[in-house]
Structure 1
Amino acid sequence: MDENELEKICDTLDRLTLDALTLIQEEIELKVNAENAMIGGETHLAKTRYILGQNSVSSLQLPSENSSEFEALTVVHSSTDDFGSKRFDLESYKPDNEVYMNPIKWFGFMPPQNLHFAQNLYRQALQWIVQAANVQTKLEETCVQIKQLQGLKRKLTTTKS
Protein backbone atom coordinates (compact mmCIF):
# COMPACT_ATOMS: atom_id res chain seq x y z
CA MET A 1 0.00 0.00 0.00
CA ASP A 2 1.36 3.35 -0.93
CA GLU A 3 0.79 6.94 0.08
CA ASN A 4 -1.65 7.49 -2.80
CA GLU A 5 -4.10 4.86 -1.49
CA LEU A 6 -3.99 6.37 2.00
CA GLU A 7 -4.79 9.77 0.51
CA LYS A 8 -7.76 8.31 -1.42
CA ILE A 9 -9.08 6.73 1.78
CA CYS A 10 -8.76 10.03 3.65
CA ASP A 11 -10.55 11.91 0.85
CA THR A 12 -13.35 9.33 0.85
CA LEU A 13 -13.62 9.58 4.65
CA ASP A 14 -13.90 13.37 4.38
CA ARG A 15 -16.64 13.09 1.76
CA LEU A 16 -18.55 10.47 3.76
CA THR A 17 -18.29 12.56 6.93
CA LEU A 18 -19.73 15.57 5.11
CA ASP A 19 -22.48 13.34 3.68
CA ALA A 20 -23.26 12.11 7.20
CA LEU A 21 -23.50 15.66 8.55
CA THR A 22 -25.82 16.63 5.68
CA LEU A 23 -28.00 13.57 6.36
CA ILE A 24 -28.13 14.43 10.07
CA GLN A 25 -29.27 17.96 9.25
CA GLU A 26 -31.90 16.65 6.81
CA GLU A 27 -33.19 14.13 9.36
CA ILE A 28 -33.51 16.81 12.03
CA GLU A 29 -35.42 19.10 9.65
CA LEU A 30 -37.80 16.29 8.68
CA LYS A 31 -38.44 15.39 12.32
CA VAL A 32 -39.08 19.03 13.23
CA ASN A 33 -41.52 19.33 10.32
CA ALA A 34 -43.28 16.13 11.43
CA GLU A 35 -43.46 17.40 15.01
CA ASN A 36 -44.95 20.72 13.88
CA ALA A 37 -47.52 18.92 11.74
CA MET A 38 -48.47 16.68 14.67
CA ILE A 39 -48.86 19.70 16.95
CA GLY A 40 -51.02 21.40 14.32
CA GLY A 41 -53.13 18.26 14.00
CA GLU A 42 -53.60 18.09 17.75
CA THR A 43 -54.63 21.75 17.80
CA HIS A 44 -57.25 21.19 15.10
CA LEU A 45 -58.54 18.12 16.94
CA ALA A 46 -58.89 20.23 20.08
CA LYS A 47 -60.78 22.91 18.12
CA THR A 48 -63.09 20.23 16.69
CA ARG A 49 -63.70 18.84 20.14
CA TYR A 50 -64.51 22.33 21.39
CA ILE A 51 -66.92 22.96 18.49
CA LEU A 52 -68.73 19.61 18.68
CA GLY A 53 -68.46 18.95 22.39
CA GLN A 54 -66.11 16.72 24.31
CA ASN A 55 -68.10 13.52 23.74
CA SER A 56 -68.35 14.05 19.97
CA VAL A 57 -64.60 13.72 19.40
CA SER A 58 -63.35 11.06 21.74
CA SER A 59 -62.24 7.47 21.82
CA LEU A 60 -65.90 6.43 21.70
CA GLN A 61 -65.90 7.14 17.95
CA LEU A 62 -62.95 4.86 17.29
CA PRO A 63 -63.60 1.31 16.09
CA SER A 64 -63.76 -1.41 18.70
CA GLU A 65 -63.50 -5.18 18.54
CA ASN A 66 -67.18 -5.38 17.58
CA SER A 67 -66.81 -2.94 14.64
CA SER A 68 -66.82 -4.11 11.06
CA GLU A 69 -63.47 -4.86 9.46
CA PHE A 70 -61.77 -2.18 7.36
CA GLU A 71 -58.38 -1.53 5.82
CA ALA A 72 -56.10 1.44 6.48
CA LEU A 73 -56.10 4.16 3.84
CA THR A 74 -52.31 4.52 4.08
CA VAL A 75 -49.85 1.69 4.62
CA VAL A 76 -46.08 1.88 5.12
CA HIS A 77 -44.15 -0.79 3.24
CA SER A 78 -40.50 -1.64 3.76
CA SER A 79 -38.31 -3.20 1.12
CA THR A 80 -34.70 -4.23 0.87
CA ASP A 81 -32.66 -3.84 -2.30
CA ASP A 82 -29.96 -6.17 -3.62
CA PHE A 83 -27.31 -4.46 -1.49
CA GLY A 84 -29.26 -4.87 1.75
CA SER A 85 -30.41 -1.24 1.93
CA LYS A 86 -33.80 -0.79 3.54
CA ARG A 87 -36.35 1.61 2.08
CA PHE A 88 -39.77 2.69 3.30
CA ASP A 89 -42.64 3.72 1.01
CA LEU A 90 -46.20 4.90 1.57
CA GLU A 91 -49.09 3.39 -0.31
CA SER A 92 -52.39 5.27 -0.17
CA TYR A 93 -55.84 4.06 -1.14
CA LYS A 94 -58.98 6.00 -1.99
CA PRO A 95 -61.93 5.58 0.38
CA ASP A 96 -64.24 4.11 -2.26
CA ASN A 97 -66.10 1.34 -0.45
CA GLU A 98 -66.64 -0.31 2.92
CA VAL A 99 -63.19 -1.93 2.88
CA TYR A 100 -61.31 1.39 2.61
CA MET A 101 -63.34 3.65 4.85
CA ASN A 102 -62.30 7.25 5.51
CA PRO A 103 -61.76 7.44 9.29
CA ILE A 104 -63.09 10.99 9.37
CA LYS A 105 -66.57 9.48 8.89
CA TRP A 106 -66.31 7.99 12.40
CA PHE A 107 -67.04 11.50 13.67
CA GLY A 108 -70.25 12.10 11.74
CA PHE A 109 -71.52 12.57 8.21
CA MET A 110 -70.53 16.27 7.98
CA PRO A 111 -67.38 16.66 10.11
CA PRO A 112 -66.08 20.19 10.77
CA GLN A 113 -63.35 21.68 8.60
CA ASN A 114 -60.90 21.54 11.52
CA LEU A 115 -61.15 17.75 11.49
CA HIS A 116 -60.21 17.73 7.79
CA PHE A 117 -57.28 20.05 8.55
CA ALA A 118 -56.11 17.69 11.31
CA GLN A 119 -56.35 14.68 9.00
CA ASN A 120 -54.28 16.45 6.32
CA LEU A 121 -51.64 17.50 8.86
CA TYR A 122 -51.36 13.94 10.18
CA ARG A 123 -50.97 12.64 6.62
CA GLN A 124 -48.19 15.16 6.00
CA ALA A 125 -46.52 14.17 9.28
CA LEU A 126 -46.60 10.52 8.21
CA GLN A 127 -44.91 11.41 4.92
CA TRP A 128 -42.18 13.33 6.75
CA ILE A 129 -41.68 10.47 9.21
CA VAL A 130 -41.23 7.98 6.36
CA GLN A 131 -38.75 10.34 4.67
CA ALA A 132 -36.87 10.69 7.98
CA ALA A 133 -36.73 6.90 8.32
CA ASN A 134 -35.22 6.65 4.81
CA VAL A 135 -32.67 9.35 5.64
CA GLN A 136 -31.83 7.55 8.88
CA THR A 137 -31.22 4.34 6.94
CA LYS A 138 -28.85 6.19 4.57
CA LEU A 139 -27.09 7.70 7.58
CA GLU A 140 -26.59 4.29 9.17
CA GLU A 141 -25.14 2.95 5.91
CA THR A 142 -22.80 5.94 5.66
CA CYS A 143 -21.63 5.42 9.25
CA VAL A 144 -20.89 1.76 8.50
CA GLN A 145 -18.80 2.81 5.48
CA ILE A 146 -16.95 5.35 7.62
CA LYS A 147 -16.11 2.73 10.25
CA GLN A 148 -14.91 0.30 7.59
CA LEU A 149 -12.65 2.92 6.00
CA GLN A 150 -11.33 4.00 9.41
CA GLY A 151 -10.39 0.38 10.10
CA LEU A 152 -8.65 0.12 6.73
CA LYS A 153 -6.85 3.41 7.37
CA ARG A 154 -5.64 2.14 10.77
CA LYS A 155 -4.32 -1.01 9.13
CA LEU A 156 -2.46 0.99 6.52
CA THR A 157 -0.92 3.36 9.04
CA THR A 158 0.12 0.59 11.47
CA THR A 159 1.72 -1.57 8.79
CA LYS A 160 3.53 1.47 7.44
CA SER A 161 5.07 2.30 10.83
Structure 2
Amino acid sequence: MEKKTHRICEILDKLTLDALHLIEEEVQLKLNLENAMIGGESHLAKSRYIMGQNNVSALQLPTEDGKEFSASIKVAEHDSETLLDNPELQLKTVKKSEDESVQEPLRWFGVLVPQNLSHSQNMFRQALQWAVQAVNVQIRLKETINKIGVLKEAKQMAKLEE
Protein backbone atom coordinates (compact mmCIF):
# COMPACT_ATOMS: atom_id res chain seq x y z
CA MET A 1 0.00 0.00 0.00
CA GLU A 2 2.86 2.37 0.73
CA LYS A 3 3.97 2.01 -2.88
CA LYS A 4 0.51 3.11 -4.03
CA THR A 5 0.68 6.25 -1.84
CA HIS A 6 4.18 7.00 -3.15
CA ARG A 7 2.96 6.73 -6.76
CA ILE A 8 0.01 9.05 -6.04
CA CYS A 9 2.42 11.57 -4.49
CA GLU A 10 4.63 11.46 -7.60
CA ILE A 11 1.64 12.12 -9.84
CA LEU A 12 0.48 14.93 -7.54
CA ASP A 13 3.93 16.53 -7.76
CA LYS A 14 3.86 16.34 -11.56
CA LEU A 15 0.34 17.78 -11.74
CA THR A 16 1.26 20.60 -9.35
CA LEU A 17 4.24 21.51 -11.55
CA ASP A 18 1.96 21.38 -14.60
CA ALA A 19 -0.49 23.70 -12.84
CA LEU A 20 2.30 26.17 -12.05
CA HIS A 21 3.46 26.14 -15.67
CA LEU A 22 -0.12 26.72 -16.83
CA ILE A 23 -0.50 29.63 -14.40
CA GLU A 24 2.73 31.14 -15.74
CA GLU A 25 1.52 30.68 -19.32
CA GLU A 26 -1.83 32.26 -18.48
CA VAL A 27 -0.18 35.30 -16.91
CA GLN A 28 2.06 35.73 -19.97
CA LEU A 29 -0.92 35.46 -22.33
CA LYS A 30 -2.86 38.04 -20.34
CA LEU A 31 0.14 40.41 -20.46
CA ASN A 32 0.30 39.92 -24.23
CA LEU A 33 -3.45 40.56 -24.43
CA GLU A 34 -3.09 43.76 -22.43
CA ASN A 35 -0.24 44.99 -24.62
CA ALA A 36 -2.19 44.24 -27.80
CA MET A 37 -5.23 46.10 -26.46
CA ILE A 38 -3.12 49.10 -25.48
CA GLY A 39 -1.47 49.10 -28.92
CA GLY A 40 -4.84 48.85 -30.68
CA GLU A 41 -6.28 51.69 -28.62
CA SER A 42 -3.21 53.82 -29.30
CA HIS A 43 -3.45 53.30 -33.07
CA LEU A 44 -7.19 53.97 -32.91
CA ALA A 45 -6.53 57.26 -31.10
CA LYS A 46 -3.95 58.22 -33.76
CA SER A 47 -6.48 57.43 -36.50
CA ARG A 48 -9.06 59.54 -34.76
CA TYR A 49 -6.56 62.42 -34.55
CA ILE A 50 -5.65 62.10 -38.24
CA MET A 51 -9.22 61.70 -39.59
CA GLY A 52 -10.98 63.88 -37.04
CA GLN A 53 -13.01 62.88 -34.03
CA ASN A 54 -16.29 62.68 -36.00
CA ASN A 55 -14.85 60.41 -38.70
CA VAL A 56 -13.71 57.71 -36.28
CA SER A 57 -16.53 57.42 -33.79
CA ALA A 58 -19.60 55.42 -32.94
CA LEU A 59 -21.45 57.30 -35.68
CA GLN A 60 -19.71 55.14 -38.31
CA LEU A 61 -20.75 51.88 -36.70
CA PRO A 62 -23.76 50.03 -38.10
CA THR A 63 -27.08 50.62 -36.33
CA GLU A 64 -30.04 48.35 -35.70
CA ASP A 65 -31.82 49.87 -38.70
CA GLY A 66 -28.84 49.26 -40.98
CA LYS A 67 -28.00 46.34 -43.21
CA GLU A 68 -27.50 43.02 -41.41
CA PHE A 69 -23.93 41.74 -41.28
CA SER A 70 -21.99 38.84 -39.80
CA ALA A 71 -18.71 38.75 -37.93
CA SER A 72 -15.62 38.05 -40.01
CA ILE A 73 -13.99 36.06 -37.19
CA LYS A 74 -15.87 33.69 -34.90
CA VAL A 75 -14.86 31.61 -31.89
CA ALA A 76 -15.67 27.92 -32.28
CA GLU A 77 -14.89 24.71 -30.45
CA HIS A 78 -12.14 22.55 -31.89
CA ASP A 79 -13.62 19.63 -33.83
CA SER A 80 -11.51 16.68 -32.78
CA GLU A 81 -12.52 13.29 -31.44
CA THR A 82 -9.47 13.20 -29.15
CA LEU A 83 -10.66 16.29 -27.32
CA LEU A 84 -14.11 15.07 -26.28
CA ASP A 85 -13.50 15.82 -22.61
CA ASN A 86 -11.27 18.81 -23.38
CA PRO A 87 -13.09 21.34 -25.56
CA GLU A 88 -10.55 23.71 -27.06
CA LEU A 89 -11.61 27.01 -28.57
CA GLN A 90 -10.22 28.33 -31.82
CA LEU A 91 -10.80 31.30 -34.11
CA LYS A 92 -12.51 30.65 -37.42
CA THR A 93 -12.26 33.23 -40.19
CA VAL A 94 -15.46 33.49 -42.21
CA LYS A 95 -14.76 34.03 -45.90
CA LYS A 96 -16.96 36.41 -47.84
CA SER A 97 -17.76 33.68 -50.36
CA GLU A 98 -19.24 31.54 -47.55
CA ASP A 99 -21.39 34.33 -46.10
CA GLU A 100 -22.34 37.36 -48.20
CA SER A 101 -23.28 39.38 -45.12
CA VAL A 102 -19.62 39.55 -43.95
CA GLN A 103 -18.30 43.11 -44.20
CA GLU A 104 -14.83 44.59 -43.83
CA PRO A 105 -15.13 46.83 -40.73
CA LEU A 106 -12.50 49.28 -42.04
CA ARG A 107 -14.93 50.22 -44.83
CA TRP A 108 -17.28 51.70 -42.22
CA PHE A 109 -14.78 54.56 -41.89
CA GLY A 110 -14.32 55.27 -45.60
CA VAL A 111 -12.40 53.94 -48.57
CA LEU A 112 -9.03 55.56 -47.82
CA VAL A 113 -8.37 55.04 -44.14
CA PRO A 114 -5.13 55.84 -42.32
CA GLN A 115 -2.64 53.03 -41.89
CA ASN A 116 -3.05 53.42 -38.13
CA LEU A 117 -6.64 52.23 -38.40
CA SER A 118 -5.59 48.98 -40.08
CA HIS A 119 -2.78 48.60 -37.51
CA SER A 120 -5.41 49.04 -34.81
CA GLN A 121 -7.57 46.35 -36.40
CA ASN A 122 -4.61 43.96 -36.53
CA MET A 123 -3.74 44.64 -32.89
CA PHE A 124 -7.33 43.94 -31.81
CA ARG A 125 -7.36 40.73 -33.87
CA GLN A 126 -4.13 39.70 -32.15
CA ALA A 127 -5.73 40.52 -28.78
CA LEU A 128 -8.63 38.22 -29.68
CA GLN A 129 -6.18 35.42 -30.43
CA TRP A 130 -4.41 35.97 -27.09
CA ALA A 131 -7.79 35.91 -25.32
CA VAL A 132 -8.78 32.60 -26.91
CA GLN A 133 -5.40 31.08 -26.01
CA ALA A 134 -5.78 32.33 -22.42
CA VAL A 135 -9.22 30.71 -22.18
CA ASN A 136 -7.79 27.41 -23.48
CA VAL A 137 -5.05 27.56 -20.82
CA GLN A 138 -7.68 28.30 -18.15
CA ILE A 139 -9.65 25.23 -19.26
CA ARG A 140 -6.52 23.04 -19.02
CA LEU A 141 -5.66 24.57 -15.63
CA LYS A 142 -9.13 23.85 -14.29
CA GLU A 143 -8.88 20.23 -15.44
CA THR A 144 -5.45 19.89 -13.81
CA ILE A 145 -6.77 21.30 -10.54
CA ASN A 146 -9.71 18.87 -10.66
CA LYS A 147 -7.28 15.96 -11.19
CA ILE A 148 -5.23 17.16 -8.21
CA GLY A 149 -8.36 17.18 -6.06
CA VAL A 150 -9.29 13.64 -7.10
CA LEU A 151 -5.77 12.39 -6.40
CA LYS A 152 -5.72 14.04 -2.97
CA GLU A 153 -8.89 12.16 -2.10
CA ALA A 154 -7.36 8.93 -3.43
CA LYS A 155 -4.25 9.56 -1.33
CA GLN A 156 -6.36 10.03 1.80
CA MET A 157 -8.22 6.78 1.05
CA ALA A 158 -4.91 4.94 0.51
CA LYS A 159 -3.59 6.23 3.84
CA LEU A 160 -6.75 5.05 5.61
CA GLU A 161 -6.34 1.58 4.09
CA GLU A 162 -2.78 1.35 5.41
TM-score norm. by structure 1 comes to: 0.93
- How do 1:4-19 residues align onto structure 2 when only pairs under 5 Å count? 4-19=3-18
Structure-1 residue corresponding to 2:151: 149
1:90 pairs with 2:91: yes
Does the Cα contact within 8 Å between 2:8 and 2:151 map onto a contact in 1? Answer: yes
Superposed displacement of residue 64, structure 1: 0.3
CA separation in 1, counterparts of 2:114 and 2:84? 48
Q: Which runs of 5+ in 1 are unaligned?
A: none
Does the Cα contact within 8 Å between 1:31 and 1:128 map onto a contact in 2? Answer: yes
Does the Cα contact within 8 Å between 1:95 and 1:102 map onto a contact in 2? Answer: no
Does the Cα contact within 8 Å between 2:73 and 2:94 map onto a contact in 1? Answer: yes
- How do 1:1-161 residues align onto structure 2 when only pairs under 5 Å count? 2-78=1-77, 83-95=84-96, 98-160=100-162
Runs of 4+ in 1 over 3 A off after TM superposition: 79-83, 94-98
CA separation in 2, counterparts of 1:98 and 1:68? 12
Does the Cα contact within 8 Å between 1:31 and 1:132 map onto a contact in 2? Answer: yes
CA separation in 2, counterparts of 1:83 and 1:110? 46
Q: Which has the larger displacement, 45-54 or 91-100?
A: 91-100
Secondary structure of 1:22's match? helix
Superposed displacement of residue 46, structure 1: 0.4
Q: Which runs of 5+ in 2 are unaligned?
A: none
Superposed displacement of residue 98, structure 1: 4.9
Aligned residue type for 2:61 = L
CA separation in 1, counterparts of 2:90 and 2:130? 11
Aligned residue type for 2:52 = G
CA separation in 1, counterparts of 2:78 and 2:123? 26
Superposed displacement of residue 159, structure 1: 2.9
Percent identity over the alignment? 49
Superposed displacement of residue 56, structure 1: 0.6
Superposed displacement of residue 79, structure 1: 5.1
CA separation in 1, counterparts of 2:18 and 2:62? 45
Deviations 1:14-43 (A, max 9, x none): 000000000000011011101100000000
Does the Cα contact within 8 Å between 2:4 and 2:158 map onto a contact in 1? Answer: no
Does the Cα contact within 8 Å between 2:60 and 2:109 map onto a contact in 1? Answer: yes
Superposed displacement of residue 99, structure 1: 1.6
TM-score norm. by structure 2 comes to: 0.92
CA separation in 2, counterparts of 1:104 and 1:121? 13
CA separation in 1, counterparts of 2:51 and 2:96? 24
